[in-house]
Every structure is written in C-alpha cells, then in structure tokens.
Amino acid sequence: MRRFGRFGKITGLVAAASVVVLALGACGSDDGDDGTAPAASGTAAAKSIKVGLAYDIGGRGDKSFNDSAAAGLDKAATGLGVTKTELEAAEGETDAQKEERLRQLADAGNNPIIAVGFAYATALGKVAPEYPDINFAIIDDATLVDVPNVASLTFAEEQGSFLVGAIAAQATKVGNIGFVGGVNTPLIQKFQAGYEAGAKAVKPDIKIQVTYLTQPPDFTGFNDPAKGQTAAAGMYDSGADVVYHAAGGSGGGVFTAAKSAGKLAIGVDADQYLGAAADVQPVILTSMIKHVDVAVYDMVKSAVDGKPLTGAKVYDLKVGGVAFSTSNSAVSPYTAMAEDYQKKIISGEIKVPTTPTS
C-alpha cells in the first residue's frame, strides 16, 4: 500500500510538471502559427507558381524588414495567385543551415526563391549554381551579381535618408536633430550617412545626435520599442526636436517618446503615418520608405511573366525604390526643397555618401 502511495506521489509530480510545461509550450507555439500556413487562394491566372521565401531571424511578424518582405509576398499571393512557402532563420545557425533552408525550398519545387537579408549571401552563392533552372533573389546584397540565376535587389537607403534629413533640418526650430539606429551595421550606417548629409546640406552647422540601440550580433535593436523610446527621449531631453529612426520594430518607442515630448519623429521602411494610431500620427512628420515589398513583388511578378529578374537591381530614388512620404500634411512646407534635392540626386549632381563621416 505504501508503495502505491509513493507511486501516486511521483505520477502526481510528473503530471504537475507536464502541465506547467504544456502551458509554457502552448504560449510559445502560438505566435509562430501564422508564419507558415501555405496560402493558395489566388486566381487561376498564375500557372501554379510556387514562391519560396527565406526570412532572416525574426521572420514574419517582426514589424520590420521581414514583415515588409511578407507584405510583398502576400500581395503577390492574392494578386498573382501564386502559392507561397515561408521558412524562417533560427538564432545561432550557420551558413550550412541557411544553405539547407534554400535547398529544401528548391527541392520542394519553389521557383522563384527569395532570400531576405544579406546574411544569406554566402549560402545562396553556393546553392544557386546547384539549381541553374531555379531563379533566386536576395534582398540587401549585391555580391552575387555575377551568378546568372540570382537577382540582387538592393536599395539606395542613403538617398531616401538624405531627403528626410533635409526635411528634418528645415523642420527643426533649434538646429538640433537626432538619429536612432536599430543595430550598428554597415546597412543602418547608410541611413545615418544619408540623413546627416541631407541635414548638413540644408544647415551646415546643424547638431546631429546619433545612437544605436544594440551592437551585432545582438539584433534585438530592431525589435525593442522600450529601448527606442529611451534613446529618443534622451535626444529630445538634450534639445533635439526631430528624430529619425532606422530601427524597425523599435520605432514605435521613438514615436511614443516624440508624443510625450511634444516633438517630431520620422519613420522608416513603410509609410508609418498610415499604420500609426490616430493620436500618434501628428508626430510622424514623414517616413523614409524602403520598398522591400515592391522588390519582392517585382521578383514574383517577373517570374509569373516568364522573365525572371537577374543581375543587380538597385531600388533608388530614380525608380521609386526609396522615397519620402507626404501623408502627414505637416510636411508640406518642406517638400519643395526635398523634391529639389531629389532631382539633383537623380541627375547625379549630388552624390550621397554611404558611410557616416562622424
């Protein structure tokens, strides 16, 4: 009888542990669910084209770079009727594992396959030649321009940032503006470089505060609104009245800080004025739009049309790959000068630097 009593206690403990674990597990598995549901709800137009998308760490739902790519994919799925398969990178993985992801997408019959983020460059460089009949694209990298079945889709972030820098310099009343970068990488430094150049073109003696939320390999700076808020609040406290963020999902915190300080902020990637809550909208003066969604859509469209993109394609001001938004009417006094700069950049009269001088 005693034995039974003990056994009962053990099973009870195990059961209790299982319940706790199960509860934890249920929480963990929730947010990933929508990321992988294959949606094939298109018209019959596209002859069963299967698009594979390999996200960087964070995947769909990062409210940033990956989401922008996802938006382009969704548009293609509904508008062009293609089937989509999405895979996501894991933390701590190697190039071999990225290669494996691309190979699995290729083996599953996806064509085209789009790799989101420069981290895929090495892996794609190995995989693409193994599948000469499949078209690949990579976002934010141009090291594979010589591989015939790879389209390198890059953006002139510095050009768009130059224009919002020019807007910020006009909008500031005190000659003091700020830049919040998500993660200190060469890519985000391009945003900073353009912004600083644009602001200095308007006001050569302007004071520009710069901060980065995290250092690689800590990429949480792209998804940490609390850090963004602290950083921006610090800048407003030190006298800035316009802050531009290139910090992905952390940008929400920058807007919150702008709202409580009664100052202005500039969004990034998408037209963030449109996505913001009504009470936050007034502080979002403009946004530097980076059309990752357009690049993804273009790639899928070109494949549906039977002429898949290859080689280098730079989404710059000229082709509308980057732009500043005008949905907030408060920006209208400053757009004339920005458009003037835009013309000069497109004509080549102004060369925008890609690395910060400071």
Residues that bind other proteins (CB under 8 A): 6, 10, 13-14, 17-18, 21-22, 24-26, 28-33, 35-38, 85-88, 90-97, 100-101, 103-105, 108, 118-119, 121-122, 140-143, 145, 152, 154, 184-187, 215-218, 312
- The CB-of-224 to other proteins minimum distance in angstroms stands at 14
- The CB-of-217 to other proteins minimum distance in angstroms stands at 4
Angle of helix 225-237 versus helix 251-261 axis, rounded to 10:
40
Closest to other proteins by CB, 29 or 332: 29
Closest to other proteins by CB, 211 or 286: 211
Tell which residue, 248, 229, 323, has the closest CA to residue 66.
Answer: 248
CA distance 209 to 172: 13
CA distance 328 to 227: 26
Phi, psi of 318 (to 5 degrees): -60, -45
- The CB-of-112 to other proteins minimum distance in angstroms stands at 17
Closest to other proteins by CB, 31 or 340: 31
Classify residue 22 as exposed, middle or buried by CB count within 10 Å of its CB (0-12, 13-18, 19+): exposed
- The CB-of-320 to other proteins minimum distance in angstroms stands at 21
- The CB-of-85 to other proteins minimum distance in angstroms stands at 7
What the block records as the tokens of 111 is 């064509």
- The CB-of-43 to other proteins minimum distance in angstroms stands at 23
Closest to other proteins by CB, 93 or 339: 93
CA distance 67 to 69: 5
Alpha-carbon dihedral 284, 290, 294, 298, rounded to 10 degrees: 170
User: Element (H or E) spanning 246, and its range?
Assistant: strand 242-246
Closest to other proteins by CB, 32 or 320: 32
Closest to other proteins by CB, 141 or 269: 141
| Local structure of residue 351 (DSSP, 8 states) | P
Closest to other proteins by CB, 140 or 196: 140
Angle of helix 65-79 versus helix 292-304 axis, rounded to 10:
30
Coil/strand/helix, residue 324? strand
- The CB-of-101 to other proteins minimum distance in angstroms stands at 5
